[in-house]
Amino acid sequence: MDRGEIESKLSDLLVDELGLERDKISRDAKFEEDLEVDSLGVVELLMALEDNFGVQIPDEEAESITTVGEAVDLVHAKLSQGG
Amino acid sequence: MSRRRVVVTGLGTVNPVGRDVPSYWRNLVDGVSGIGKIQQFDASHLPVQIAGEVADFDPEEYIPKKEARRLDRFSQLFWAASHQALQDAGVDYTDAGEAAYRAGVVVGSGIGGIISIEAGVDTIRERGASRVSPLAITQIIANSAGGMVSIAYGLQGPNTCVVTACAASANAIGDAAEIIRRDEADLMVAGGSEAAMSEFPVAAFAQTRALSTRNDEPERASRPFDAERDGFVMSEGGAVLVLEELEHAKARDAQIYAELVGYGMSADGYHITLPRPGGMGAARAMQSALRSAGMAPDDIDYINAHGTSTPANDSTETAAIKLAFGDAAYQVPVSSTKSMTGHLLGGAGAVESIACVLAIRDGIIPPTINLENPDPECDLDYVPKTAREVPVRAAMTNSFGFGGHNVALIFAGM
């Protein structure tokens, strides 16, 4: 799965599972400031990533994610390592 | 200082016979049942397969999508009813400065987010602890409905929650009025909500043996005071009254439906589900409400009974009305709108308070449908089958809950 496919699938998750508005979502969008994802929403987001991409994201790695693009890169790196 | 008076200036409801106040009231007056086969889940393996559900409820009609998906259904229903009631009252506190500190919420729920409890337990058993939703707790807690409404509508005054089973929203209304009377608020959103249409709660209520099993005749299942009654019908829904201090309402030229003049409560102190035989517990709540209103029994022109359609409640409540009202018991019309709505549990007191307020406004008493052969122990005037046009100066509504909670509220015309 390349970054474009991951970003597309992540955008769908953000709309369908977190109820975000699609036109606000971009690579540079910050979860907290731009997308108004609160602390509970961050946990939902991590669960959605793990469930839908089959990856494991420990809390310490999750803390480094602030933008949509960083989430895409993290998932891409995990998948490239062979999951 | 003279006593601060509390009036009703807004109404809202989403329930099995109507998704707003006008349709609810029209259907009550027309004697329309909201009971049917359970649609929200497969109940075919349960002893009880009927309920009163809010068909085609779309939470996003009231709630932003992002918030709606974070809420249990009981909170969604309360939010919808609150939205309607605030609009009806014509108030908006979202940008009201310190006035918003004088507006609050009291929500009553019998249980809270029980559908979310059931789903969360399924998740942890099937998929493990790491898959439990971070929203589970805020969906489950019974006070979340009032918390969310305060956030959405800017209500920053007193905010609390009452959990007294099927008396919960009657207590919520009474307690909210007391908050206004003691000058802690000028306006309160008060009411309740319940949404327990899932496998576990329906099975669990069925096990108390309090539910009707008339699965083949859903619309005839809730038959309060009838000799063939066999239990109550579970329903879901939310109902809200905007209560306001009289001078505050007058100052902004608000529509005033009625005054909340009486509130009484008692405990049976007898049994966790059965009423105290003879009805003295419920009678004391009614007497207390009359006393707080400064009224005599013959000042009441309508009693909206708790009238659940269980064998135990309806005969005991009849006895209780006789104890509290004496000879006047045989003169006052009594009806159970649960014959149409089913039992909204924690939402019942509020949805039935709306019926009382509109009975006063329109001079129409909604009927007790399905009352075909009265139980000999139920020998009052229950307004069987069809509504009655008669002036209503004041109306009492009764609400009793598992645990032995008894509540009576009295509304009066202005």
**pLDDT per position as a tens digit, A6-61:** 999 999 999 998 989 999 999 999 999 999 999 999 999 999 999 999 999 998 89
Are A19 and B68 within 8 A, CB to CB? yes
pLDDT beyond 60 at A83: no
**Quick check: is B166 catalytic?**
yes
CB contacts of A55 in chain B (<8 Å) are none
Q: What is the pLDDT of residue B367?
A: 98
- Beta strands (DSSP E) in B15-157 are 35-37, 50-52, 103-108
Nearest-angstrom CA–CA distance, B301 and B395: 6
Whole-number Å distance between alpha carbons of B223 and B335: 11
Name the residue among B65, B134, B138 with its Cβ closest to that of A19. Answer: B65
Contacts of A44 in chain B (CB under 8 A): 133-135
Tokens of B407: 């509540």
The Cβ of residue B19 has, within 10 Å, a number of other Cβ atoms equal to: 21
* Rounded CA separation B154/B86 (Å): 12
Nearest residue of A to residue B130, measured between CA atoms: A47
pLDDT digits (tens, 9 = 90+) for B167-218: 999 999 999 999 999 999 999 999 999 999 999 999 999 999 999 999 999 9
Mean pLDDT score across all residues of chain B: 97
Would you say B338 and B224 are in contact if contact means Cβ atoms under 8 Å apart?
yes
The pLDDT value given to residue B1: 55
Distance CA B281, CA B265 (A): 9
The predicted-structure confidence for B65-117, as pLDDT tens digits, reads as follows 989 999 999 999 999 999 999 999 999 999 999 999 999 999 999 999 999 99
User: Containing H/E element for A14?
Assistant: helix A3-16
Whether the complex's predicted ipTM is more than 0.90 is answered with no
Is the pLDDT at B406 greater than 70? The verdict is yes
Global pTM value: 0.96
Measured between CA atoms, the residue of chain B closest to residue A47 is: B131
CB pairs under 8 A between A and B: 22
- Give residue-wise pLDDT tens across range B233-256: 999 999 999 999 999 999 999 999
Chain B positions touching A47 (Cβ under 8 A) are 130-131, 133-134
Reported as a pLDDT band with limits 50, 70 and 90, residue B2 is confident
Integer angstrom CA distances of residue A18 from B68, B202, B245, B361: 10, 30, 40, 44
Give the model confidence (pLDDT) of A62-75 as tens digits. Answer: 888 999 999 999 99
The pLDDT of residue B411 = 99
Q: Give residue B147's pLDDT.
A: 98
Asked if B83 is an active-site residue, the reply is no
Report the share of chain B in percent with pLDDT over 90. Answer: 99
